[in-house]
Structure 1
Amino acid sequence: MLSQAKISFIGGGAMAEALLSGLLKTGLVAADQICVADINVDRLATLEKKFQITTNVNSRQVAEKSDILFLTVKPQVVETVFKTLQSAVKPETLVVSIVAGLTLERLEAAFAQNSVIRVMPNTPLAVGQGMAAIAVGSKATEEQAQDVLTIFQSAGKAVRVAEKDLDAVTGLSGSGPAYAFLMVDALADAGVRAGLPRAMSITLAAQTLLGAAKMVLETGEHPAQLRDMVTSPGGTAIAGVHALERGGVRVALIDAVMAATKRSKDLGKKHE
C-alpha cells in the first residue's frame, strides 16, 4: 500500500521536515507521492527545493487527494485546521496526528468517518534515528497500524502503546532531544573550559552520547550496569559521576520529563 499511497502533510514545520527527510532517505516512498500544505509560501518553497516534493497553500485541495494525511501543525491551530478539512477528507483516508496533546477521542470526533492514529515522534527522524510511539483509534485496522509503524520504523524505532501512555512518551522521547542537545552543549562547554577547541569538544560530546546510547540498545544491559563498567575504583569516571550526583543532574532530568509530561496533559485538556 505505501508504495502507491498519496501521503500528505498539513503543516510544514520542523517535525514534518524531519519525517520527510527520514522517509525519503530510506526510499520507503518516492517524492512524487508526497504533498505538503502550509500557509507560509516561503516555507513551502524551501521544502519543495530540498525534497523535490509537491506543495500547496490550499490544505483542502491537498486533503482531498490524500490516502494518508498527517496533521503536523501546532496544537494552538488544530481546531481551525479541523474546520477547514473535515468536509474535504475522503472516508477511506487514514488520518495520522502528531499534534501534542490531541486525543484520539477528539480526532475521531473531528473525522467521524475516518480511521485515525496518534503518533508522538521526535526530530532525530531526520537522520534515521527517531523514536516514535503510536496509539491506534477504534476504527483503524491492523494493516493501517502496521503501515504507520513501518513509516516511522524506516527512520528509527517505533512502538505501539496505549493512548494513556502518550503524555509520558511526549515528556521522555518526544521532548528528549532537547535535553540531549542541552547535555551535548554543556559537555562541549566543559571541554572548552578544560582547554579543548570548540569544534572538537562538540564532536567528542556528541559521539560519546551516541555511543553510550547505542551500547544500551545493542547490549540490552541496564544503564547502571554499563555505568559500573566505566567507573573503576578511585578513577576519573566515578569522580565525574560523583560531581553529577552532587549537582542533582539525575533529579533535574526526572523533573524535566515530568514537567514536559504535565504540559502534554495540559495541552490535551484544551482540546476536550
Structure 2
Amino acid sequence: MSDARRLAILGCGTMGEAIVGGLLRAGLFRSDELIATARRPEAAEALRGRQGVEVTLDNLAACRAATTVLLTFKPQRIAKVLHQPGMREALAGKLVISIAAGVTLTQLTEWLPDSAVIRAMPNTPCLIDEGMTVLARGPRVGDAEVAAATRLFETVGRCIEVEDKLMDAVTGLGGSGPAFVYVMIEAMADGGVMMGLPRAVALQIAAQVFQGAARMVLQTSRHPAALKDQVTTPAGCTIAGVLTMEDGRIRSVLARTIQEATRVASELGKDAAADR
C-alpha cells in the first residue's frame, strides 16, 4: 500500500482497541496511519494514551481522512452514524468493514452504495491475539480487498471467508462461542473442586485442557471424534465420563445453544434498521 493509506476505526471500544493493538504489534500500520473515534472526551484521551494513535470524537472527519474504515459500533448505533449527513459521500470509493452483529451486507450496501463493503465477525480472544474472525464480501469487493481485510484481522488471530447468508451462524458460534466455553471451563473446574482440588488449580487445569484440546484439533486436522477415541480406553475413566455427558444430552444442548444464539443474532440487524 502507498504511504497515503490511513485506517479509521470508528466507535473504538474493546474490540476496536484490540485490533488497533494487533495492527501496531504486527507492524501492519504505523501509529500515524491510524485514526480512531470515541463518544466521550475522556474515553478518547485514555485511548490516545494507551495506544499512541490519533483519536477524535468526529466520525465524519475520521472517514474523510481515511482510505479504509472499520466500523466497530454496536448494531443499534451503526445506522444512525452511517446516515449522518455527508457520511455516504465521505465513504464513497473506500473499503468499509463492519463488525456489527446481525447487520447484513444488504443493509450495508443499501446505506453505502458507493463503497466496497465487507462484513466481519471477530470474537473477544482477539484481545490476546487468539481471535477467530470470519468475513463476507459485498458485491463491489474483489480479492484484493478481501486479502487486505484478512491481513488486518490475522494480526489478532485466524481469519476465513464465508457467504453472507452464513454470518448469523458465525455470530452464534464464533462471536458468542467464547462465553459458552467459559461456562464449560467453570463447570469442569467445579467438578474438580467437588473432588478435592483447590479452585485455582482446578481452573488452571480446566482452561489448559480446553486450550490443548483445541490446538490438537487445529494442528492435527483430525476429527474431534478420532481424538476423543484416542483418549478413551476400554473400561476406563474417560468413557465413564463421556457416557455421563451423553446422559445429560450435552451434544443436543450445545448444538441448540448455537441455534438460539444464531436466531437472536439474526434479529439484531432489524433493530439497527429500526433505530435509524
The TM-score, its normalising length taken from structure 2, stands at 0.92
Q: Deviations over 1:216-251 (max 9, x none)?
A: 011111101100111111212112212222122222
Deviates more, 1:157-166 or 1:235-244: 235-244
1:1-272 to structure 2, matched below 5 A, reads 1=1, 5-84=5-84, 86-87=87-88, 89-271=90-272
Question: Can you list the C-alpha shifts for 1:70-102, whole angstroms capped at 9, x where unaligned?
Answer: 111111111211122624524232110010111
How far apart, in 1, do the equivalents of 2:40 and 2:183 lie? 29
Give, in whole Å, the separation in 2 of the partners of 1:250 and 1:25.
39
Could you tell me how far 1:182 is from its partner in structure 2? 1.4
- Aligned partner of 1:236: which letter? C
Compared CA separation, residues 2 and 219, structure 1 to 2 (3 A): farther
Distance 1:119 1:2, change over 3 A: farther
The code of the aligned residue for 1:28 comes to: L
Flag structure 2 segments of 5+ consecutive residues without an equivalent.
none
2:83 aligned counterpart, secondary structure = helix
| Contact in 2 for aligned 1:60/1:88 (Cα 8 Å) | no
TM-aligned CA deviation for residue 20 of structure 1:
2.2
Once residues 47 and 79 of structure 2 are traced to their aligned partners in structure 1, the CA distance between those partners, rounded to angstroms, is 25
Q: What is the letter of the counterpart of residue 151 of structure 2?
A: T
- Distance in 2 of aligned mates of 1:249 and 1:65: 50
Question: Which residue type is aligned with residue 226 of structure 1?
Answer: L
- Give the letter for the 2:14 counterpart: A
Q: What's the TM-score once normalised by structure 1's chain length?
A: 0.93
Q: After TM superposition, give the deviation of residue 169 of structure 1 in Å.
A: 0.8
8 Å CA contact 2:35–2:56 kept in 1: the answer is: yes
Cα-to-partner distance string for 1:170-225 (whole Å, 9 max, x where unaligned): 11111111111111222222222222222222211111101000000111111011
Letter in 2 for 1:43: A
Contact 1:34–1:53 under 8 Å retained in 2: yes
Output the aligned Cα RMSD: 1.8
Shift of 1:65: 0.6
Query: Which one-letter code corresponds to 1:40 in the other structure?
Result: R
Structure 1 residues 156-165 or 1-10, which shifts more? 1-10
- What residue ranges of structure 1 are gaps of 5+ in the alignment? none
Q: Aligned partner of 1:234: which letter? A: A
Supply the distance in 2 between the matched residues of 1:43 and 1:240 (Cα, whole angstroms): 48
Separation in structure 2 between the aligned mates of residue 21 and residue 256 of structure 1, nearest angstrom: 32
State how far apart, in whole Å, the 1-side matches of 2:88 and 2:170 are: 32
Q: Deviations over 1:26-73 (max 9, x none)?
A: 222222222211213333233222222211111111111111111111
Q: What is the total number of aligned residue pairs between the two structures?
A: 272
